[in-house]
Amino acid sequence: MRIHAIIVAAGSGIRAGGAVPKQYRLVAGQPLLRHAAARLLAHPSINGVTVVINPECRALYDEAVAGLALPEPIAGGATRQLSVLAGLEALAVSPPDIVMVHDAARAFVPAAVLDALIAAFGDAEVDGACPALPQVDSLRRGEAGRFSGSVDRENLWRVQTPQAFRYPALLAAHRAAAPGATDEVAIALAAGLSVAITPGDERAFKVTEADDFAKASAMTSYSSRAASGFDVHRFGPGDHVWLCGIKVPHDAGLIGHSDADAGLHALTDALLGTIAAGDIGDHFPPSDERWRGAASDQFLAHAAELVRARGGIIDHVDVTLICERPKVGPHRDAMRARIAAILGIGLERVSVKATTTEKLGFTGRQEGIAAQAMASVRLPESIA
């Protein structure tokens, strides 16, 4: 069963205030839209996620989702319904079995909500499914500051997203729908489809008002990860070495398949370690001719992208270069600045240190350079 999700993020979100539409506002350091997309991408049964945006917000979008595995976004329409329809039509070239339609503002949907939604399709009679919570507060009618009547809360549900449907059924229903329809359940019911109620979750609340951003931030929990990396390259003929992304004049070069930048290699391994994503050789095999003489900044940038694709935040990195010569001190600030630029983090989060081994061992004999690195990151957990 192929499942594709559409995230509707074309609205202007003025109710939440702020300088940018609310889907691009930060919660726990990341745009709301990024939280929403990363959560769906992380679900093992969801094969892909497409975002529908306002094309005027393209630059905000690109920045918000940088590094996430998303296809080209789709331009939305004048109403939510038209935006969803545009997303559905875009999937027609390679139609999924199930399509989920999700609001970017419900950025913190627990995986269990998605599991239950998908499980509902085990019933062949079901055309769609929607997470919902029972209405527990009493409902009353009122006008002009006075209550005027009661509403029976029995059989009333507060619907959430994502709402999931068999793709052909939802596409047909949307093509026939009124442009003002507010959600897929309404459209599906109007088309006579059968929609199952699955368990919702309070944590999948819609970020609507300004206060909701503080509530969302407080709910996001991160776990800290630290990992180390180590690398060695042997000296050979040459007149410079690459260390931490800086070309350092020297009376020897370093031998390696790439540019032999031991500092960046150790740091790349440390970052990969924080997400248990193997090592640099797995991602850039020395057997691959593409990496012959390659600049190592792309290895480090790739590792950083993988961390960010997991919703991770790079808190700090620390590299120690181990050699008698060349002297690292004169290049230390340039190295820090280069690493900060590659990782897209502040200079204060980057440390470069150097030591000798008192002329002992292979580094002491100036046969090569060793480097070790530590990286500390925060990865989002399922929200509290």
Tokens found for residue 116: 């239950």
- Shortest spacing between CB 75 and Mg ion, in angstroms: 44
DSSP 8-state code for residue 193: -
* Closest distance to Mg ion from the beta carbon of 357 (Å): 19
Complex with Mg ion: residue 104 or 319, whichever CB lies closer: 319
308 lies in the site for Mg ion, by CB under 5 A: no
Nearer to Mg ion, 170 or 300 (CB): 300
User: Smaller CB distance to Mg ion: residue 151 or 255?
Assistant: 255
| Dist. CA 271–CA 317, nearest whole Å | 9
Least distance from Mg ion to the Cβ atom of residue 234, Å: 10
Please give the structure tokens belonging to residue 367: 């046969």
Q: How far is 227 from 319, CA to CA, in rounded Å? A: 12
What are the residue ranges of helices labelled H in 103-209? 111-119, 167-175, 184-190
Question: By C-beta, is 158 or 302 nearer to Mg ion?
Answer: 302
What is the nearest approach in angstroms of Mg ion to the Cβ of residue 314?
Answer: 21
Lookup: tokens for 64 = 């918000």
Residues touching Mg ion, count (CB under 5 A)? 2
CB of 371 to Mg ion, least distance (A): 9
Nearer to Mg ion, 197 or 248 (CB): 248
Query: What SS3 class is residue 291?
Result: helix
- End-to-end CA distance of the chain: give it in Å, rounded: 30
Residue nearest to Mg ion (CB): 265
Site string for Mg ion, 219-238 (x = CB under 5 A): ------------x-------
Q: β-strand 157-159 against 128-134: which pairing, if any?
A: antiparallel
CB of 354: closest distance to Mg ion in angstroms? 18
Q: Which is nearer to Mg ion, 103 or 231 (CB)?
A: 231
| Subset of 237-276 contacting Mg ion (CB under 5 A) | 265
Residues 271 and 282: their CA atoms lie apart, in Å, by 14
| CB-CB contact of 107 with 33 (8 Å) | yes
Contact 50, 71 (CB under 8 A): yes
Nearer to Mg ion, 49 or 370 (CB): 370
In the bound state with Mg ion, the residue whose beta carbon lies nearer, of 167 and 235, is: 235
Q: Which of residues 320-339 bind Mg ion (CB under 5 A)?
A: none
In Å, how far are 115, 121, 172, 214, 216 from 108, measured between CA atoms?
A: 14, 23, 29, 13, 8
Least distance from Mg ion to the Cβ atom of residue 231, Å: 4
Q: How far is CA 11 from CA 56, 80, 86, 105, 265, in A?
A: 11, 8, 14, 10, 43
The letter for the amino acid at 88 is: L
Strand pairing class (313-322; 222-236): unpaired
Q: Scan residues 124-183 and list those touching Mg ion (CB under 5 A).
A: none
Write down the least CB distance from residue 340 to Mg ion, Å: 21
List of residues contacting Mg ion (CB under 5 A)? 231, 265
